[in-house]
Structure 1
Amino acid sequence: MVRIPGENADDALSRTTDDFSRPSDVERLVSDIDLSPYLDRADDPVEAPLPDPVPVSTATPPLLALRDLVTDPRFTDLFARALREADPDFRELFPRDASGVLGEFVRAMSWALETVENARGDEAEVAQVVEFARHLGADHRKLELSTRHHQRFGEALTSTLRHLAGPGWDDRLSTTLGTVYRVLTTALREGAAAGHGPARVGATVVEVLRPTRDVVVVRLISDVMVDYHPGQHLSVLTPYTPGVWRRFSPAMPANPAGQIEFHVRDVPGGALSGSLVRGVGVGDRWVLARPLGLLEVDRTEPVRDVLMIAGGTGIAPLRCLLMDMMRHGANPRVHLFYGARHPGDLYDLPTLVDLAATAPWLTIQPVSEEDTDPWWAGARQELPRTLHRRQTGTLVDVVTGWGSWADRQVLLAGSPEMLRATVRGMVAVGTPRENISFDRP
């Protein structure tokens, strides 16, 4: 026992006892390491029979029985463990907490099983599922999955569902799952094979701006040009949260120099945004993948004027569309409502004002829910003057206060909550729902 100078024997003994009962740094490190691939599978709890397996009735159609197994609350945890053991690559492809990704898989798989069952042999209904899988395969091209990956994924899925079903698992479920999985993986491969260009493109962070305490503007240069349409979003993989892909909308059109700009807000509880906003730095390497979505200005005759509504970092795809419109000699009139919680959160207003200075067809209306910035926000840039003075209120209240906008094509971008509230509010005042377009990256 080592005694600290100045302490008595009783204190030293007490400290030693406390230290002995407290886990050491080595013990904490070891407890964080997943050793399951190196342990005897016979001792793995995944292989132990469940005390309460999912009841499977022979009267239930096999597709619906598989759906009930997939949607069981225990499925995601069991499946995550099965995947980790099925192939070492899955540990890199999936984030450490795979519940979010596998939750999306559960929703997609249950929809596919229900749709095929309810189709009752209708080829058009079944084709919807196959086409969905092809689109998914095009997106999954970024993962560079091999035939081995599909095989091991299927084996892990089968073993997990068999484990959940317990004695209820039979040949009809096994055969049905095999057929469904074969059809879906074939469509996934077809979708991936139809892609053009590189599946993944590297990009280097060259500049980082922090206009507010919870927003970061990241400028990158990609190794090769990423060709996307204004208003689309890209799948992005960063080093801050391994295995987590997120969809970010570029704030500027694609160009031969490979320059790209993303706006990211720190979302409380987000799997990536917090670590990205706090940790991004010049020189970091990102991976960019296939552009998705389509938010565009309709130029078909007769051309209608445009209403754009952006909440927070939702300004990025709409600003990208505006910059692209600057390339045209003639444009429809655009009325842009740009909103945020506090006035200082309207961080992109200076850029928008610069655009409007050379675009007589563009009108900008700033909106903030509060009149002043909170004391804890710190120093912020002075906002430029705009033709229309800033209005106070929620975006939906301010926008609908001007009327129904029924003659406009309406483009929205922002958080899911903002999109829901704005669509609901605009439809309530008479905006035709078919006139409203939005994309949720």
Structure 2
Amino acid sequence: MSDDPGPEPADEPFHDHDVERLVADIDLDPFLGRRHDPLAEPLDEPAEVGAQAPPLLALRDLIADDRFPELFARALRAADPDFRELFPRDATPVLREFVRAMTWAFETTEYADGDRSKVEEVVEFARHLGADHRKLDLAPRHHQRFGEALTHTLRHLAGRGWDDRLETTLATAYRVLSTALQQGAAAGEGPARVGATVVEVLRPTRDVVVVRLISDVMVDYHPGQYLSVLTPYSPGVWRRLSPSIPANPAGQIEFHIRDVPGGALSGSLVRGVGVGDRWVLARPLGLLEVDRSEPFRDVLMIGGGTGIAPLRCLLLDMMRHGQNPRVHLFYGARFPGDLYDLPTLVDLAATAPWLTIQPVAEEDEDPWWAGPRQELPRTLHRRQTGTLVEAVTQWGSWADRQVIVSGSPEMLRATVRGLVAAGTPRENISFDRP
């Protein structure tokens, strides 16, 4: 027997703990043909179930438990192999949206108090969601197993608090919602998914990419709508992106995407997109539009960052008309160099006497680390310094305008609140929730 202890651990290509971590991270069940119950062990602290609470509200409280998304994700992976492909590896953000939707559905139904229109509102929402889910190509089997996983997860969370009334209420509610989802999917027309090829990539700033694609067949969307997009950079992650040009027979589409810190897709997309990549586009959604009913009502548009894309699409569509309402566009960003689309907007304004551009930046100068940037063109109005909501509201309430706002969730909240506080009627303001 040799006394040589062998190579030091630092010289080994893989340490034992590295191999264990790698193997533990691989889900081998689909390859081994076995199914197991990831929720077999009871929880140390089951969720509290109010014995006197109405069943729908008790289910709402269970689904709102902080442990639900992770437990449900595990149950889904075990319920059907297809769910492993339909959901991203980290399904928590998607399932949190599911929790929000189900919470609203349970509460609206419970508090309807016999008002059938309120219940129908929930069913219609499910139909609308089902139309969007056409892109997932779900079969009745998927709906059944999704429901089984949902029941199993809530039963697991409730522990001994689970009873027949919760089981029956959940089964009834899920049957109604699942039926509406499938009805919505079946009512859709045209292809559920369309392939598209990246033909050009522009990088106007350090964290923004402009992606131009040509779709296999024309995607017929209205100006101001957004599309659900699936890319190869984050499998299973669908992202809502707004085209910056109107639909056309050539199938040309352009998207503006910013690298959002911590985003599930934006970082890998902005850094990894290249010519020749294949994307998948799905059903257009959204309600941003310019009311062209006569007599024309003037328009206030407010776009922050890449939120300028759907507004630019609306403006390009308006260029087709001989007569248009006056449009005052506030285009804002954090630094002056981030106003990357200003040259295009100025070119539009040069041939559209009804369009006025007001650039806004929160800072006066670009930071040293931002790198070189294009020279920004002069506009009729000098660039203002401050937030968009400050720049807009200093001119008054704009109460006589139709107002269209587009940008990040934080920008939307601040701008809408500021406008309402300044006297803009809330019903005059339109925006799409990201």
Alignment correspondent of 2:397 = 404
Alignment correspondent of 1:183 = 176
Q: How high is the sequence identity, in percent, across the aligned residues?
A: 81
In 1: Cα distance, 2:9 partner to 2:291 partner: 74
In 2: Cα distance, 1:29 partner to 1:271 partner: 22
Alignment correspondent of 1:140 = 133
Alignment correspondent of 1:424 = 417
TM-score by length of 1: 0.93
Deviation at 1:64, TM superposition (A): 1.8
Alignment correspondent of 2:84 = 91
Q: 1:58 and 1:421, CA in 2 relative to 1: closer, same or farther beyond 3 A?
A: closer
Alignment correspondent of 1:203 = 196
Unaligned ranges ≥5, structure 2: none
Alignment correspondent of 2:314 = 321
Q: 1:26 and 1:428, CA in 2 relative to 1: closer, same or farther beyond 3 A?
A: same
Alignment correspondent of 2:99 = 106
Deviation at 1:51, TM superposition (A): 2.2
Alignment correspondent of 1:3 = none
Asked whether the 8 Å contact 2:38–2:74 carries over to 1, the reply is no
Deviation at 1:28, TM superposition (A): 4.1
State yes or no: 1:306 paired with 2:299: yes
Residue 54 (structure 1) aligned to one of 47, 61, 72: 47
In 2: Cα distance, 1:97 partner to 1:292 partner: 25
User: Could you tell me which amino acid in structure 2 is paired with residue 175 of structure 1?
Assistant: T
What does the per-residue CA deviation read over 1:200-236, in whole Å, with 9 as the maximum and x for residues that have no partner? 0010000000000000000000000000000010011
Residue 390 (structure 1) aligned to one of 383, 408, 417: 383
3-state SS of 1:253 partner: coil
User: Could you tell me which amino acid in structure 1 is paired with residue 77 of structure 2?
Assistant: R
In 2: Cα distance, 1:293 partner to 1:217 partner: 21
Asked whether the 8 Å contact 1:54–1:166 carries over to 2, the reply is yes
The equivalences for 1:16-415 within 5 A come to 16=9, 19=12, 22-23=15-16, 26-36=19-29, 38=32, 46-415=39-408
What does the per-residue CA deviation read over 1:259-289, in whole Å, with 9 as the maximum and x for residues that have no partner? 0000000011111100000000001111100
Deviation at 1:397, TM superposition (A): 1.1
Unaligned ranges ≥5, structure 1: 1-8
Deviation at 1:245, TM superposition (A): 0.6
Deviation at 1:241, TM superposition (A): 0.5
What does the per-residue CA deviation read over 1:379-402, in whole Å, with 9 as the maximum and x for residues that have no partner? 111111212221211111111122
3-state SS of 2:111 partner: helix
In 1: Cα distance, 2:323 partner to 2:211 partner: 31
Aligned length: 431
In 2: Cα distance, 1:414 partner to 1:17 partner: 50
3-state SS of 1:191 partner: helix
Q: 1:363 and 1:57, CA in 2 relative to 1: closer, same or farther beyond 3 A?
A: closer
3-state SS of 2:85 partner: helix
Asked whether the 8 Å contact 1:41–1:47 carries over to 2, the reply is no
Q: CA RMSD in A?
A: 2.0
In 1: Cα distance, 2:142 partner to 2:42 partner: 27
What does the per-residue CA deviation read over 1:64-94, in whole Å, with 9 as the maximum and x for residues that have no partner? 2222221122111111011001111100000
Q: 1:397 and 1:40, CA in 2 relative to 1: closer, same or farther beyond 3 A?
A: same
In 1: Cα distance, 2:169 partner to 2:425 partner: 44
3-state SS of 1:294 partner: coil
Q: 1:347 and 1:299, CA in 2 relative to 1: closer, same or farther beyond 3 A?
A: same
